[in-house]
Structure 1
Amino acid sequence: MCVKLKVIGLSELEEYQKLYTQNWPKYCPEYYCLDNFIEFLKADPQIKNLKLFTLAGEQARADALFVIVDRYQLFVGSLNNTNGLLQQALELLDWSAGFKCSSIPSRHIQAVDNVVQSKQLELEFRDPTNLFYMKAEDALKLKVEPSAGFILKSLSVTDAPLINEEWPNHHLGSLYFIQRQIRMCVNAGLYAEDSKELVAWCIRLQGGYLGALQVKSGHERRGFGTLVTREISHRLGTQGHDVMALVGPSNKPSAGMFSKLGFRIIDQCYWLRTMPTNGELTWSEGE
């Protein structure tokens, strides 16, 4: 039998998302990844450069198997890690332009690694991160007032160039990514009340995690990172969402902050970048 990718849409994502509520919080990465893309599609049904796949067949549907290609990023999910269907789906993708395989839950990394090996793909990096988790009810307790002379509020798209410039992971296409996340996802910024200068920020990423958490150069070691983390966590909690963050094992300061706030490690997720096989990555400005 010929296995084929099947394009799916909003209704299928909503159906799959419900299946990921079982054994909570085991599948919270898949659940909140789908939550974000569901909201993206509701806000912009014609969103560019977003492709959603599963495999044809009832088993893939029962597994809630999904493969999401968001521009140059790849997200995956499945309730079953023993039947090889996720690997089959990944084998059918075109890897020639390279993918940033993003926040891949540890239960799925073998399927990704197998495809990388079978296609003889070169990796730029392959990094594990610890999944820090907090229940919504606990996130509601994190509400805090900012330091005197500062205000907490949602970010503006006009803040994106600064955030992109300061972001250690900025890359070709990342400015648009940050602009879109600010428009469509929960976020928080800390601003100087008088000058309106943005000094710290945090944005929910597509995978559902807190990300781009940063304090502007010159304002470090004043607790501003903790302030915006508490604020965005509280905002997610008010929406009934549990809160997740990914922290590299060597990032002791961030790990210490999340632990101190009450987050606990429940899993690992991986990030890996496959190199293009047909030249360098190119991406159109503003897409």
Structure 2
Amino acid sequence: MDKMDSHTDILRPLSEDEFEELLQLYREKYGEENFHYLLMYNQNKWNEQLRNLNYEAKEGEADEWISFRKVFYTYRDGDFRTYGTYVSLHYDIMQSVSFHSWEPNQSDLLKCLRETKLIDWCGGPLLTNVDLEICEEVKKIALAKGTSVQRARLCLFLILDHDKAAVLDVEQVKSGYTVKKLNTENAALIHELWPNKKEGSLPYVLGLIELNHTVGIFRDDNDELVAWAFQNDFSGLGILQVLPTEQRKGFGALLAATLCKQVAVVEKVHLNAWIVSENFKSKALLEKIGFRPKAKAEWIQLNKV
């Protein structure tokens, strides 16, 4: 993609100050349980963590932290303060795209999606948390760009209030197992078994272990990792898995409660989770520890052409 596009494109990147202003606009408009706000909240946190790492990729080398560098853009000819119009682009093995505006007819946002050269429509991008009212228009834009929808999943966004998460009663793990933080040596196994690994990469899993809260359950006899959960890029619960041989032992609920409580102790943020709408098992598990449905959105995977 031509680097000059970002200087002439219909989208322009927000400065650091503008991005923090956008974050506060969403907080005031929608509150702290809104998934667009939480996406920005987490990115703002990651930005600070990456600055503290003082890491710079050497010329000609891949940026090992690229998975954590979402760039937020807005309509070049508009004012993001009016309708909160933004497009977030994330470059990794595949591009992921998030966007929103509260303009009543969404005309500026849709114009940006149609005319920007920064979205690699034919590269198989993932369009994340797409608001239901514009899903069909977005799919039409994708078709007009020469690609098609590989998979569109209706997902539920669930919230666990911060104050409730902070006082969760976490059960003791079964005898023979220990609960502790993951380390980078666990990343390869987790990545290999992650059903959505094509939407991320091994460096992403490694980075999450370093930057975010994680929790794992390990066998005492051989220190084998048998279950795990991560804090994701909404500062919520993600990548929760239990090995098939260790299921039906209550590990899923234990991991979810443990991670949520850990996050709530150190961050003033509402805990959250995205699940596919027909995943009734996960919904029941999360509701058991206090999560409640908050919103719905589509996650749209486009075909690579």
Helix, strand or coil for the counterpart of 1:130? strand
What's the TM-score, normalizing by structure 2?
Answer: 0.81
- CA distance in structure 1 between the aligned counterparts of 2:132 and 2:32, rounded to whole angstroms: 11
The answer on 1:253 being equivalent to 2:271 is no
| Structure 2 match to 1:62 | 82
- C-alpha change, 1:117 and 1:171, in structure 2 (3 Å) is closer
Structure 2 segments unaligned to the other structure (5+ residues): 1-7, 57-64
1:121 pairs with one of 137, 147, 158: 147
| Structure 2 match to 1:96 | 122
The amino acid across from 2:297 in the alignment is C
Alignment of 1:129-168 (within 5 A): 129-144=155-170, 145-168=172-195
Number of residue pairs the alignment of both structures matches: 276
How far off is 1:100 after superposition?
Answer: 1.0
Structure 1 segments unaligned to the other structure (5+ residues): 278-287
- C-alpha change, 1:77 and 1:191, in structure 2 (3 Å) is farther
- C-alpha change, 1:153 and 1:116, in structure 2 (3 Å) is same
Q: Deviations over 1:139-166 (max 9, x none)?
A: 1122413333333222212211111111
- C-alpha change, 1:252 and 1:27, in structure 2 (3 Å) is closer
2:257 pairs with one of 198, 220, 230: 230
Confirm or deny: 8 A CA contact 2:25 2:81 kept in the other structure.
Answer: no
2:247 pairs with one of 220, 225, 230: 220
How far off is 1:256 after superposition?
Answer: 0.8
State the identity %.
22
1:241 pairs with one of 255, 269, 276: 269
- CA distance in structure 1 between the aligned counterparts of 2:75 and 2:251, rounded to whole angstroms: 45
- C-alpha change, 1:182 and 1:4, in structure 2 (3 Å) is same
- C-alpha change, 1:21 and 1:273, in structure 2 (3 Å) is same
Helix, strand or coil for the counterpart of 1:222? coil
How far off is 1:261 after superposition?
Answer: 1.4
- CA distance in structure 2 between the aligned counterparts of 1:202 and 1:16, rounded to whole angstroms: 30
What's the TM-score, normalizing by structure 1?
Answer: 0.86
The answer on 1:176 being equivalent to 2:215 is no
- CA distance in structure 2 between the aligned counterparts of 1:39 and 1:87, rounded to whole angstroms: 29
The answer on 1:52 being equivalent to 2:72 is yes
Helix, strand or coil for the counterpart of 1:22? helix
- CA distance in structure 2 between the aligned counterparts of 1:116 and 1:27, rounded to whole angstroms: 29
How far off is 1:127 after superposition?
Answer: 0.6
Helix, strand or coil for the counterpart of 1:82? coil
The answer on 1:34 being equivalent to 2:40 is yes
